[in-house]
Structure 1
Amino acid sequence: MRKLMFCLLGIGLITLSCKKYDALGRKIQFEERYKASFLEGNWTLTDSLGVMEMQWKEADDSTYTGTCLFIHGEKKDTLHREQMEVQQRKNYLIYTTTVQGEKGETPIAFQMTQDTDSTITFENPDNDYPKKIVYRLLRNGKLQQTESGQIRKKAQTQTYLWSKGVPPKESKDDN
């Protein structure tokens, strides 16, 4: 009887140890979504034309939502506004982006095709540009975003280097 009890206890412990839990001890139901957790936070990128601001936050247990703004010059006009989402749907991680004023503001979906602890790749072979979006967290804490695809049948790649920053601000044209 004792051997049976120890055997059942051992099986129970093995079963429990196979489940994944977060740092607070909660069972992780949407494991794929956590592959994008390094995106979370506020990111900025400054160049001679203005400031790009991006913010990612956890919306629920299966989704991160993001906003990206390009704020131009001293007038603080918003020239680019993008809504983004990374969501686990069944066993797939899907990145969806909607850019104000582009493609009829139709959401474009990309599926995760590769990931490591610090890199995540999303692709949509049917979209001209970008076809591929790669986010990579660098050792110095910066976030490298690379977009590639075709513009007018010519291969193009654009890389952005984001730094941790403040949350996106609303500009004058948002009022």
Structure 2
Amino acid sequence: MVLLVSLWLGDLSSLEGCWQWRNGTLTGTECWVAMNDYSMMGFSYTTKDGQRREHEFLMIERQEGPPIYVAMPSNQERTEFRLTSQDHDTFVFENPDHDFPKRIVYRFLSNDELEVRVEGDPGSRVLTFSMNRISCIRSCH
């Protein structure tokens, strides 16, 4: 457990910046900024044909114990996911009591490529987003 707490921001700092995936006319953008040694703030949104459809406020924070990934989707309650495992390029956050998702996995493929997997119960749907780093100037506002 000490390893999870002590290494988390150093390794996760690669997340800082803006990321984007595309699927036809649907585009998802996620932006992150480190606030201090213990927290990162994020914002994500989805557009279709250039019109914003959904948004989500995000945060990764550590107070005591393992880091917490916080998601606050459009018009929904705050949901927390605990960091349950990590290595140099993969971070797994889980909340087994949540309906969907139960698990969020961030995996760095390179400095500019990121795969995000959103998973439900074993054997149920899995959403995979292949994201590329983009310029933040006009991306997350």
TM-score range, shorter chain: 0.7 to 0.9
**Counterpart Cα distance in 1 of 2:107 and 2:7:** 19
1:163 deviates by 0.2
**Counterpart Cα distance in 2 of 1:50 and 1:148:** 20
**Counterpart Cα distance in 1 of 2:31 and 2:110:** 20
Which stretch shifts more, 78-87 or 32-41? 32-41
SS at match of 1:155: coil
Structure whose residues are more often helix by fraction: 1
Find the counterpart in structure 2 of residue 37 from structure 1. Answer: 13
Find the counterpart in structure 1 of residue 118 from structure 2. Answer: 147
- Whether contact under 8 Å (1:38, 1:118) holds in the other structure is no
In structure 1, which of residues 78, 100, 123 is the aligned counterpart of residue 94 of structure 2? 123
Q: Deviations over 1:67-120 (max 9, x none)?
A: 1111110xx22101011000112131100000013xxx2110000000001110
**Counterpart Cα distance in 1 of 2:112 and 2:140:** 22
In structure 2, which of residues 103, 108, 122 is the aligned counterpart of residue 132 of structure 1? 103
- Whether contact under 8 Å (2:103, 2:119) holds in the other structure is yes
- Whether contact under 8 Å (2:43, 2:140) holds in the other structure is no
- Whether contact under 8 Å (1:41, 1:164) holds in the other structure is yes
Find the counterpart in structure 1 of residue 67 from structure 2. Answer: 93
Q: Which amino acid aligns with 1:156?
A: R
Higher radius of gyration, 1 or 2: 1
> Would you say how many aligned residue pairs link Structure 1 and Structure 2?
135
**Counterpart Cα distance in 2 of 1:57 and 1:169:** 11
Q: Which amino acid aligns with 2:94?
A: E
Q: Which amino acid aligns with 1:51?
A: T
Structure whose residues are more often strand by fraction: 2
Find the counterpart in structure 1 of residue 132 from structure 2. Answer: 163
Report % sequence identity.
23
SS at match of 2:99: coil
**Counterpart Cα distance in 1 of 2:120 and 2:128:** 12
Work out which structure has the larger RCO, using CA pairs closer than 8 Å and 6 or more positions apart in sequence. Answer: 2
TM-score calculated relative to the size of structure 1: 0.70
**Structure 2, unaligned runs of 5 or more:** none
SS at match of 1:129: coil
1:36 deviates by 1.9
Q: What is the RMSD computed on CA atoms of the aligned residues?
A: 2.1
What does 1:70-89 correspond to in 2, within 5 Å? 70-73=46-49, 76-89=50-63
**Structure 1, unaligned runs of 5 or more:** 1-28, 171-175
